[in-house]
């Protein structure tokens, strides 16, 4: 790539309530690759609720302005001198894990997601809302065959974090196991597909406030779908909550003794925090119920999940937005008008 070449990119440059100009379209130099880095021409980038958390200040990027986006799929167009795993022309993807120290006790134990020096793509390093993106080769992954590049994009966050959340439920796929899914957007619709393919004996119960999302869940094979006040026909061994609000904690009453409630959210919003006052210790928490958050992802999560997606022919339902529609896509995400996963497309640019 000739030196000084410029690219188009969306950046977040300040924190504040989401508005049509929360993202700014700018020209930035195409990143220069060194050592073991690869330069990726971005074809697709998934859109995630975390972008809203960054804009609205619930998580703070290490750098501002920052190019958001951490579900990146594209083609390798340049490689650093030490790159071994990829060559020019390879189709690759990258997710939320941009790098970790590889030395600390967490990294040594395969818990890179908890590393103090964990750097997140599109937050602590520039991400994929741009024409080009660079990353160390060890944190990039080949795209599984059998998927279009567009379908692959949401696997890199919504899918991989959903997979990690499912692992944390400790479900084994046995007869009689039950799983609740709270919220039904990009991540939980993939968890449902994963459970149907991997654990066909597990019954799934979906909680969503939007009737369209409940219909969507039933059409994908959920055993039941209801609003948050409704009671599913049986107790739940685990629940995965992907919503940005607090009300779903009241679903704890539906957990069986020793059940696990997994919160798959980077942050919760403040708007309905008073709902927590309605928690009843005896009904909702006693009998060794557990609440556990899921944080970030490891390279192993991505490797395992991508190979599962290939084996199980797991296809996310995607809605495409043109690169220039990024601000609109974020506003629609905020309004909760979601069915499947939103993806920015830079093809035919
Ligand atoms: Zn994400
Ligand atoms: Zn570390």
**Spacing, Cα 96 to ligand 1 middle (Å):** 7
112 pLDDT more than 70: yes
Distance 108 CA to ligand 2 centre (A): 7
113 alpha carbon – ligand 2 mean position (Å): 8
Please give the distance, rounded to the nearest whole angstrom, from the Cα atom of residue 150 to the centre of ligand 2.
31
Q: How many residues does the chain have?
A: 349
Task: Say which ligand is closest to the CA of 95.
Answer: 1
Which residue, among 112, 118, 73, 136, has the nearest Cα to 343 in the 3D structure? 73
How many Å lie between the centroid of ligand 1 and the Cα of residue 349? 24
**Domains recognised in the chain with CATH numbers:** 6-156+297-345 (3.90.180.10), 160-293 (3.40.50.720)
Q: How many A from CA of 165 to the centre of ligand 1?
A: 13
The closest ligand to the CA of 113 turns out to be 2
The string of pLDDT tens digits covering residues 238-263 is 999 999 999 999 999 999 999 999 99
d(CA 75, CA 312): 24
Residue-wise pLDDT for 47-94, tens only, equals 999 999 999 999 999 899 999 999 999 999 999 999 999 999 999 999
Nearest ligand (C-alpha, residue 104): 2
Whether the predicted pLDDT of 195 surpasses 70: yes
Ligand nearest to the CA of 123: 1
Mind giving me the DSSP string for 128-156? SSBSEEEEEGGG-EEPPTTS-HHHHGGGG
Q: Give which of 140, 172, 157, 139 is closest to 96, Cα–Cα.
A: 157
d(CA 190, CA 232): 21
Ligand 1 centre to CA of 49 (Å) is: 6
- With tokens 């046995």, the residue in question is 174
pLDDT class of 2 with cuts at 50, 70, 90: confident
CB 167 within 8 A of CB 294: no
Rounded (10°) CA dihedral 133, 97, 52, 225:
120
Ligand found nearest the CA of 117: 2
| Average pLDDT over all residues of the chain | 95
Residue 3: pLDDT band with limits 50, 70, 90: confident
Among residues of the chain, what percentage have pLDDT more than 70?
Answer: 99
Does residue 334 sit in helix, strand or coil? Answer: helix
Distance separating the N- and C-terminal Cα atoms of the chain:
18
Task: Find the 60 Cα to ligand 1 centroid distance in Å.
Answer: 15
Ligand in nearest proximity to the CA of 102: 2
Which of the four pLDDT bands, split at 50, 70 and 90, describes residue 340?
A: confident
- What whole-number distance in Å separates Cα of residue 99 and Cα of residue 115? 10
Distance in Å, CA 120 to ligand 2 centroid: 13
- Burial of 192-228, coded b for 16+ CB within 10 Å and e otherwise, reads bbbbbebbeebbbbbbbebeebbebbeebebbbbeeb
């Amino acid at each position: 790539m000739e030196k000084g070449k410029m690219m188009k990119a969306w950046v977040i440059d300040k924190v504040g309530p989401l508005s049509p100009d929360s993202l700014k379209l700018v020209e930035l130099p195409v990143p220069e690759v060194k050592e073991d880095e690869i330069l990726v021409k971005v074809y697709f980038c998934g859109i995630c609720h975390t972008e809203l958390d960054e804009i609205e200040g619930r998580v703070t990027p290490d750098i501002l302005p920052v190019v958001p986006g951490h579900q990146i799929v594209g083609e390798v167009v340049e490689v650093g001198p030490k790159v071994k795993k990829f060559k020019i022309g390879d189709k690759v993807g990258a997710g939320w894990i941009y790098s970790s120290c590889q030395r600390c006790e967490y990294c040594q134990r395969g818990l890179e997601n908890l590393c103090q020096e964990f750097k997140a793509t599109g937050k602590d390093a520039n991400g994929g809302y741009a024409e080009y993106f660079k990353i160390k080769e060890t944190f990039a992954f080949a795209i599984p065959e059998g998927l279009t590049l567009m379908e692959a994009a949401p696997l890199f966050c919504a899918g991989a974090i959903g997979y990690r959340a499912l692992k944390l439920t400790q479900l084994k796929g046995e007869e009689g196991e039950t799983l609740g899914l709270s919220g039904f957007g990009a991540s939980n619709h993939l968890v449902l597909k994963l459970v149907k393919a991997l654990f066909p004996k597990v019954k799934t119960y979906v909680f969503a406030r939007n009737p369209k999302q409940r219909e969507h869940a039933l059409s994908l094979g959920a055993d039941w779908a209801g609003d948050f006040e409704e009671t599913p026909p049986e107790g739940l061994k685990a629940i995965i909550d992907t919503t940005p609000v607090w009300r779903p904690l009241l679903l704890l009453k539906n957990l069986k003794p020793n059940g696990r409630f997994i919160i798959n959210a980077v942050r919760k919003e403040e708007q309905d925090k008073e709902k927590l006052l309605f928690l009843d210790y005896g009904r909702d928490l006693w009998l060794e119920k557990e609440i556990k958050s899921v944080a970030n992802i490891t390279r192993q999560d991505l490797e395992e999940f991508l190979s599962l997606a290939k084996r199980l022919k797991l296809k996310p339902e995607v809605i495409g937005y043109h690169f220039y529609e990024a601000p609109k896509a974020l506003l629609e995400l905020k309004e909760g008008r979601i069915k499947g996963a939103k993806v920015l497309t830079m093809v035919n640019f």
